[in-house]
Amino acid sequence: MNRCAVLGSPIGHSLSPLLHREAYAALGLDWVYEARVVTEQGLAAFLAGVDASWRGLSLTMPLKRAVLPLLDEVSERARQAGGANTVVLADGRRSGHNTDVPGISAAVRERYDGPVGRAVVLGGGATAASAVLGLADLGCRHVTLLVRDAGRAALTVAAAARHPDGPTVDVRPLAGPAGPADVLVSTIPAAAQTAELLARVADVPVVFDVVYDPWPTPLTVAAEEAGRTVVSGLDLLVHQAVLQVELMTGLPGAPLEAMREAGRRALVARG
């Protein structure tokens, strides 16, 4: 039996098992994918205990960064991002990858085919770092990073510097001016999306909120009402999951639309 899992704490909310199982069914694979509660402190012990039946792991924060010293190989994308959300287990070795970055760029391109020269990113954590790298892949040359804690932004700025075509990053307080942009990416909770903040970013034509539950968020409601292009957290989730399935199984053709519809139905059922 081939086994995969998503690790984190808490992890019960994750849609990853549903999405990966949908892919396995479409690919004709009799594989198992489950959710496992694993803390940062317990990650090394979990990895040491996996046997040859294990093929891959999906990781949530803070495990994405904690896993790096425990890997035998780290992809260039994971090195740039400073975190791996995917671990492929093969031949007794652990290789780390980051599918968040290409997932972000693919999610934007699916909804919008215009220029991405300037962007605003809300938040400065690990997801913001992946967002900046994904935007850089789309040709972004300048990012305004609006953050509540400037100290957290250092890792995101460092990630941008590791990209060969990394954009300049201007770090400002969350209450500061956003400036002009082609794309806005929010990595902050819905509760932090105040009316005052929404007013400052109202003119950005493409709005991408990485949150998928709860949905919609105040930011995306305002964007849809204004006729903006909206990219959802579910879009990101399914794009990066397709890439994870390909890495873990070695098979192309994971069914993006079927996975997205399965995720959408699950979110509707949650209310």
64 part of the active site:
yes
Residue among 235, 242, 239 at smallest CA distance from 208:
235
One-letter amino acid for residue 83 of the chain: G
Orientation angle between helical segments 233-249 and 100-111, nearest 10 degrees: 130
Name residues whose C-beta falls within 8 Å of residue 268's C-beta, 6 or more positions apart in sequence. none
**Chain-centre distance of CA 208, in angstroms?**
12
Q: Which residues contact 178 (CB under 8 A, 6 or more apart)?
A: 120, 144, 146, 184, 200, 201, 204
Catalytic one of 20, 21, 55, 64: 64
Instruction: Give the amino acid at 257.
Output: E
Residues recognised as catalytic: 64
